[in-house]
Structure 1
Amino acid sequence: MAKTVRNIITIGASAGGLSAVSKLLTKLPADLDAAVFIVIHLGKAAIVDVVLNMLGKNSALKISVPEDGTPINTGRVYLAPADSHMMLEKGHILIKQGAKENHWRPSIDVLFRTAAAAYNSCVTGIILTGLLDDGTSGMAAIKKCGGRCIVQEPDNAEFPDMPNNVLNNIEVDYRVQIEEMGYILSDLYSRNDCDAASVPDDVKLESAITLRMATSLPVTAQLGTLTPFTCPDCGGVLTQIDEPNGETRYRCFTGHVFSESFLDNQYADKTEETLWVAIRMMEERRNFINTMRKNDINKKEREERDQEILVHIERLKTIMQEVAKSRQELTKSDHKKIES
């Protein structure tokens, strides 16, 4: 008979994550009194069986990729499938193709947030190596619900962005190397000091929205302030969510979610795409004018139009270069903030 699940461990990793997660799993004992859930950012084409074999090679715990509705069992490790969110409800796992968060599916934030809402203070979140900031919002939800937060020491991480983002926004319980995490988890669960805690309304609501995979604008607006900004993915109205720790996120009522820095990057991408389209259309018009029949337009007028369009094209190229330069400077500034 399966043992009732009491403790939940959620692990998130991105770039360099396969090696880091493999190392962590070797530190977990076979009698660990917890169910373990892992999100690694994998591409759609990732061969999950290969990843499973790599993770399970030296793990004392059995690892599997769950299906929608899979029951949660203690002493098991569950790996999120490629291109699907892994979410938790009490006692079972949901696998859904919901909207991407920060362009990731599976998303670390989605797993962490739904785990916090379902298991409150009995959740331990772990963030390992990775780029950008997926996992920060989810870790904040775990902290709000009384759970514990463990972050890989950034100097020990192959890519320190994700650990640094968590450290810059959340007061974590442990900042350690992977080698120490197994001892910490064994100690935590040997004491079995998990007490049920209340789940804040905002965590409940956002988790419910995530589980439903879509909602209405009035419901989403309960999480923050409606903005004049639109979702770069679908054009929906964005709600600004300001966390107590100072973090700002933007949620579209269709389900897309962006951190502030990621949304800025998306708008920059769209700006660049628009400029390229404008340049291409002007080049096409210029070529068309130069191939028009001579009796439709005289040579002098054709040359004048050609030069006018060429001036506009050069202006757009200059603007694009300035946008790219500004973006590079902002990226450097963001990295300095993360590292500080």
Structure 2
Amino acid sequence: MEPSSLIAVGASAGGVEALREFVAGLPPDMTAAVLIVLHLPPGGFSALPAILGRACALPVQAAGDGIEAMPGHIYTAVPDTHLLVRDGRMVLSHGPTENGHRPGVDATFRSVAMVYGPRAAGVVLSGGLDDGSAGLALIKRMGGLTAVQDPKEAMHPGMPNSALRQVDVDLVLPARAIGDALMAALRHRVSSRPPPSELDRLENAIDAGHRIERNGVADMTIPSGLTCPDCSGSLYDLGDGRYRCRVGHAWSPEALLIEQGTEVERALWAALRALQEKQQLADKMCADAGRYGNTRLSARFAAQSAEQLSAAKILRKLLVGDGDMGPG
């Protein structure tokens, strides 16, 4: 049997607790299928199906490539693959990361919106930053329903608050109340399905890992002047506050800002290490010159050592707020 509708759920930090509440509130006679995306590290095994299976009466299993989505079933994304849908079946894709994540919430939302249109629903639960907002907006544009966990209840309200800022959300409820409310609304849903834009189609194809002819995003958008943290390629402005590079890595503004800050810090630590090594070398050369009685050269290297020490103290204070280099 084909599900009456498809509900896509995205969560990140604090998401396990929110997901337990969400699945516990799903009606046992539910005719929709549910896809769940929780940000996961690329390696290892996810225990999420077992955790959620203990919280509800519905069957919960890890998504599998080519598996048909069944009504009343819950499927969880697996590490290092995007969870997409095509022709009523799930597709596990190793397409480019979204905000550094694979599985990505936006990739799943985008795919569900493109395939199910008015029969799609998107749910954003607890998490940081702004993941899920762009995909939820597409679900809304394609005639689907949108729901967000009440930010006052979420352990990490960043994702819910971002969705509320960017999308005219249909439902804002505690996680446990969302399932019943969505199913009631979907049963009486009458909505048109506008055609997706060419950019939406292109992004969906990129998520699926398809080979993109010519320059893809570069042909449809404009350069942003920013650089992709994943591949160092040029980022292109998608026009809705998001960015993609030529090979497909996607970034939201908040995630990009955080990642650029991480890159800056990494570069500063590398500079501090180089300064300390340079000071150590100048000290050694100063001592060697002193042993050979070359006081002029020894003084020169001592001055260089003091210069590196001063610069290193300034840099360390910038990094950790401590100007005392300590011994060595």
Determine if the TM-score, normalized by the shorter chain, exceeds 0.5: yes
Q: CA deviation at 1:213?
A: 5.5
Q: Within 5 A, what are the aligned runs for 1:327-338?
A: none
Letter in 2 for 1:253: R
**1:178 counterpart residue number:** 175
User: Hey, what's the Cα distance between the residues in 2 that align with 1:58 and 1:264?
Assistant: 36
Letter in 2 for 1:269: T
User: Hey, what's the Cα distance between the residues in 2 that align with 1:37 and 1:12?
Assistant: 9
Q: CA deviation at 1:192?
A: 5.6
What SS is found at the alignment partner of 1:154? coil
| Matched length | 315
CA distance 1:141–1:120, shift in 2 (3 Å): same
Indicate yes or no: 2:87 matched with 1:123. no
Q: CA deviation at 1:318?
A: 5.0
| CA distances 1:122-158 after superposition (whole Å, capped 9, x unpaired) | 1100111111111111101111111110111111212
Compute the RMSD of aligned alpha carbons.
Answer: 2.2
User: Hey, what's the Cα distance between the residues in 2 that align with 1:298 and 1:18?
Assistant: 64
Q: Name whichever of 121-130 and 300-309 sits farther off.
A: 300-309
What SS is found at the alignment partner of 2:136? helix
Q: 2:244 aligns with which of 241, 245, 251?
A: 251
**1:338 counterpart residue number:** none
Q: CA deviation at 1:214?
A: 5.9
Q: 2:215 aligns with which of 215, 218, 221?
A: 218
Letter in 2 for 1:236: G
User: Hey, what's the Cα distance between the residues in 2 that align with 1:101 and 1:142?
Assistant: 17
CA distance 1:214–1:313, shift in 2 (3 Å): farther
Q: CA deviation at 1:201?
A: 2.7
**1:335 counterpart residue number:** none
Larger Rg computed on CA atoms: 2
Q: Within 5 A, what are the aligned runs for 1:226-245?
A: 226-243=223-240
Indicate yes or no: 2:205 matched with 1:208. yes
5+ residue gaps, structure 1, are 323-340
Q: Within 5 A, what are the aligned runs for 1:48-127?
A: 48=46, 50-127=47-124
**1:311 counterpart residue number:** 310
Letter in 2 for 1:68: D
Letter in 1 for 2:298: K
1:56–1:63 CA contact under 8 A, matched in 2: yes
Q: 2:5 aligns with which of 4, 7, 11?
A: 7
User: Hey, what's the Cα distance between the residues in 1 that align with 2:275 and 2:54?
Assistant: 57
What SS is found at the alignment partner of 1:155? coil
Letter in 1 for 2:297: N
Q: CA deviation at 1:27?
A: 1.9
1:11–1:39 CA contact under 8 A, matched in 2: yes
User: Hey, what's the Cα distance between the residues in 2 that align with 1:79 and 1:35?
Assistant: 11
Q: 1:268 aligns with which of 257, 261, 266?
A: 261
TM-score, reference length from structure 2: 0.88
Identity value in percent: 30
What SS is found at the alignment partner of 1:69? coil
1:131–1:162 CA contact under 8 A, matched in 2: yes
User: Hey, what's the Cα distance between the residues in 2 that align with 1:186 and 1:70?
Assistant: 23
**1:336 counterpart residue number:** none
Q: CA deviation at 1:233?
A: 1.6
Letter in 1 for 2:6: I
Indicate yes or no: 2:285 matched with 1:285. no
1:272–1:320 CA contact under 8 A, matched in 2: yes
CA distance 1:320–1:35, shift in 2 (3 Å): same
What SS is found at the alignment partner of 2:169? coil
Q: Name whichever of 292-301 and 217-226 sits farther off.
A: 292-301
Q: Name whichever of 295-304 and 151-160 sits farther off.
A: 295-304
Letter in 1 for 2:93: K
2:65–2:90 CA contact under 8 A, matched in 1: yes
Letter in 2 for 1:114: S
1:90–1:119 CA contact under 8 A, matched in 2: no
User: Hey, what's the Cα distance between the residues in 2 that align with 1:100 and 1:209?
Assistant: 10
Q: CA deviation at 1:9?
A: 0.4
5+ residue gaps, structure 2, are 322-328
What SS is found at the alignment partner of 2:13? coil
What SS is found at the alignment partner of 1:10? strand
CA distance 1:182–1:233, shift in 2 (3 Å): closer
User: Hey, what's the Cα distance between the residues in 2 that align with 1:211 and 1:189?
Assistant: 27
User: Hey, what's the Cα distance between the residues in 2 that align with 1:27 and 1:194?
Assistant: 25
| CA distances 1:83-129 after superposition (whole Å, capped 9, x unpaired) | 22111122211112222211222111110011111212211001111
1:213–1:255 CA contact under 8 A, matched in 2: no
